[in-house]
Structure 1
Amino acid sequence: MPSHAQLLLLDRDAVEPALQAEQVLAAVREAFVLHSQRAGRVFPVVREKLATGGVFGIKSGDVASQDLLGFKAAGFWPGNRQLGGEPHQATVALFDPHTGRPLCLLDGNAITTARTGAAGGIGLQQLARPESTRICVFGTGVQARVQLTYALRILPRRCTVQYVSTRGQAVPEFEAAFRDICAIRLAHDRNEAVASSDVVITATPGGGPLFDASAVRPGTHLTCVGADTAGKRELPEGVLQRARIYVDDTQQARSIGECQWAPGLPCTEIGDVLGGTTPVARAASDITVFDMTGLALQDLTVARFLYRHALDTGAGTRVAWPW
């Protein structure tokens, strides 16, 4: 009854343990296919700079056939580092599409991290050469870690990893997180690291080109994470023009992703690949780019399985939320 309605709250401690890789991968794959089939809608993205120095955005959407409706409010506040906090902040909300009532509020940081890592892994699985074993990672933060985690999980052979840190210095805790599953070391020359790698992952704040275009060799796959706002980029001029480009959403990629710097180039949505509409016929010499800007549907499909899991297990906090 309306007077007994409740709102379920799932904080970080409830969300993180439930984010099992296989379930996240399945949910993100479903989101891509739903988007490709236009069975799931993605509403226009809000992405605005704030007077406080932060960036605030809203990604929302629905899947009418599944009664799935919601949004993620998220952004980047660089000043949080000085407070000992995470600069990326996000909250996900699910709603009953029949009444508009909120069903669940979830910690969006953990969801964003996991679903973006899974998306990068899915793109790598579809687009990188199967024999790839050499990885170069730009960044050592939360997103760099999750991208590398999924890459090492998906690539079939043991890998060697070079990483480029912000200050050009070794990051022992980053190395320690992966030392047992790969050979990892600091890259002393970023162009040489790119040139000697099969897979390049860029997971930085997107402040500008990270390497020279000439460093990208034929056969390289690039997973691009950091360009998610107008004006951001990680790739140098000339790389997209040489590559076969794949995106999560064409319009988003051309407005806030790497493709904003070359919006006239053709690109393919990854959901079309996963759904079988556009098969990948990758030549060994092809350069492939997966330009990821993040879909609301990814957040919603992951949030849905977390919500159902919490209902089944009794996890989370229930708050009276009468009509």
Structure 2
Amino acid sequence: MRDTAQLLLLDRDAIAALLTADLALHAVRDAFTLHSRREGRVFPVVREQLADGVFGIKSGDVAARRLLGFKAAGFWPANRLHGGEPHQATVMLFDPATGRPMCLMDGNAITTARTAAAAELGTLLLARADSTRLTVFGTGVQARAQVAAAMRALPALASVRYVSRDGKPDARFEAALADQRNMRGVGDASNVSNMGSVSDMCSIRHAPDADIAVADSDVVITATPGGGALFNIDAVRPGTHFTCVGADTRGKRELPEGLLERSRVVADDRAQALALGEMQWAADIECVELGDVLTGGAFTRAENDVTVFDMTGLALQDLVLGECLFAAALEAGVGNGVAWPW
């Protein structure tokens, strides 16, 4: 059927019609399980600095499921000047038997959703279940999704504080979190209101002093561009869990020097974390992978352990979630088919 072959295009709105936090969590759990059992492969990452941003390619396959593809993504900070999102991503799935493309999809919401879902899974596995206080560094799309994911994982959470880039309160960020209270949505994963629910008993407020906020938190999320240490190591209390999102490129970091050496460190992928994540700054420390925690119980938490989840993002997260969305689109008749004869 070479002459009648088609390529399915799923744009932002098509993805929004299909994507939910529950779907993302299911796909990400599946991806980490595949990674732990070495049933899915992660190919070497391309991650390069450009004149105006950062560009990368994450790719891989799951042979038993005939899943092959990549995500091309990066960060272009000047997009903010035009009212656009600085993170941009595109996912492509291929037929591994022929190499022909099957589905091209907007990857922005996919990236947000799968990153938040990975953090949710990490929080469920690594943080204290009775955690009530959270601090998030950052006020962007990913920070909003990360807070929603933490709320899903920690139903007892009663306080969310945020540290902004300019040190000032962010009314839009506060409104975005407030709007999601008691809401469970589907659709656009770039909108935090669709990434879970926030208890109406949870307070949301700006934290003018990062060290004070960290010292008074059970869970800390760092979701910034990774320009340097965000707080002092002396602020860290025993038992705190850190979800680290921003260090995803050589030279980036968010944690202070010495914190990893004091912590129980879990990575999505050890090799990637050593090359791109927080672990690039402490290459000799011990580390386990989240998939092994999930499938083999490779982690037992003591009450006073400081835990760090070093997230650099697995290609399998994007591909397995993309596979789910592709199947859902075909079933629902969503997207645009384009003739792609060969």
TM-score when scaled to structure 1? 0.98
Question: Which AA in structure 1 matches 2:99?
Answer: G
- Give the stretch that moved more between structures: 173-182 or 133-142: 173-182
Please give the per-residue CA displacement for 1:182-223, whole angstroms capped at 9, x wherever unaligned. Answer: 201000211000000000000000000000011110000000
Maintained 8 Å contact 1:230/1:257: yes
User: Counterparts of 2:158 and 2:9 in 1: how far apart (Å)?
Assistant: 39
User: Counterparts of 1:250 and 1:3 in 2: how far apart (Å)?
Assistant: 44
- Give the stretch that moved more between structures: 166-175 or 191-200: 166-175
1:289 aligns with 2:278: no
1:2 aligns with 2:2: yes
Tell me what 1:50 maps to.
50
- Counting only pairs closer than 5 Å after superposition, residues 100-249 of structure 1 correspond to structure 2 as 100-179=99-178, 180=181, 181=199, 182-249=202-269
Per-residue deviation, 1:158: 3.8
Question: Which AA in structure 2 matches 1:19?
Answer: L
Instruction: Indicate the SS of the match to 1:28.
Output: helix
Per-residue deviation, 1:177: 2.2
Per-residue deviation, 1:159: 2.0
Per-residue deviation, 1:172: 1.2
Per-residue deviation, 1:277: 4.9
- Give the stretch that moved more between structures: 180-189 or 208-217: 180-189
Tell me what 2:186 maps to.
none
Please give the per-residue CA displacement for 1:135-159, whole angstroms capped at 9, x wherever unaligned. Answer: 0000000110000011001102142
In angstroms, what is the RMSD of aligned CA positions? Answer: 0.8
User: Counterparts of 2:142 and 2:171 in 1: how far apart (Å)?
Assistant: 17
1:304 aligns with 2:323: yes
Maintained 8 Å contact 1:152/1:159: no
Maintained 8 Å contact 2:134/2:157: no
Q: 2:276 aligns with which of 253, 256, 265?
A: 256
Instruction: Indicate the SS of the match to 1:14.
Output: helix
User: Counterparts of 1:141 and 1:277 in 2: how far apart (Å)?
Assistant: 33
Question: Which AA in structure 2 matches 1:63?
Answer: V
- Give the stretch that moved more between structures: 168-177 or 61-70: 168-177
1:314 aligns with 2:333: yes
- Give the stretch that moved more between structures: 172-181 or 297-306: 172-181
User: Counterparts of 2:102 and 2:114 in 1: how far apart (Å)?
Assistant: 21
- Give the stretch that moved more between structures: 110-119 or 157-166: 157-166
Question: Which AA in structure 2 matches 1:188?
Answer: P
User: Counterparts of 1:218 and 1:261 in 2: how far apart (Å)?
Assistant: 21
User: Counterparts of 2:251 and 2:229 in 1: how far apart (Å)?
Assistant: 12
Instruction: Indicate the SS of the match to 1:92.
Output: strand
Please give the per-residue CA displacement for 1:264-301, whole angstroms capped at 9, x wherever unaligned. Answer: 101000000111251x2111100000000000000000
Instruction: Indicate the SS of the match to 1:162.
Output: strand
Structure 1 unmatched ranges of 5 or more? none
Question: Which AA in structure 2 matches 1:30?
Answer: D
Provide the aligned length of Structure 1 versus Structure 2: 321
Runs of 4+ in 1 over 4 A off after TM superposition: none
User: Counterparts of 1:159 and 1:72 in 2: how far apart (Å)?
Assistant: 36
User: Counterparts of 1:151 and 1:11 in 2: how far apart (Å)?
Assistant: 28
Please give the per-residue CA displacement for 1:40-69, whole angstroms capped at 9, x wherever unaligned. Answer: 000000001113x21110000000010000
Tell me what 2:28 maps to.
28
Per-residue deviation, 1:38: 0.8
Per-residue deviation, 1:83: 1.8
Identity %: 65
User: Counterparts of 2:300 and 2:325 in 1: how far apart (Å)?
Assistant: 36
Tell me what 1:86 maps to.
85
Maintained 8 Å contact 2:59/2:70: yes
User: Counterparts of 1:82 and 1:14 in 2: how far apart (Å)?
Assistant: 26
Per-residue deviation, 1:17: 2.7
Maintained 8 Å contact 2:40/2:61: yes
User: Counterparts of 2:321 and 2:267 in 1: how far apart (Å)?
Assistant: 19
User: Counterparts of 1:300 and 1:158 in 2: how far apart (Å)?
Assistant: 31
User: Counterparts of 1:65 and 1:265 in 2: how far apart (Å)?
Assistant: 34
User: Counterparts of 1:33 and 1:159 in 2: how far apart (Å)?
Assistant: 31
Maintained 8 Å contact 1:71/1:94: yes
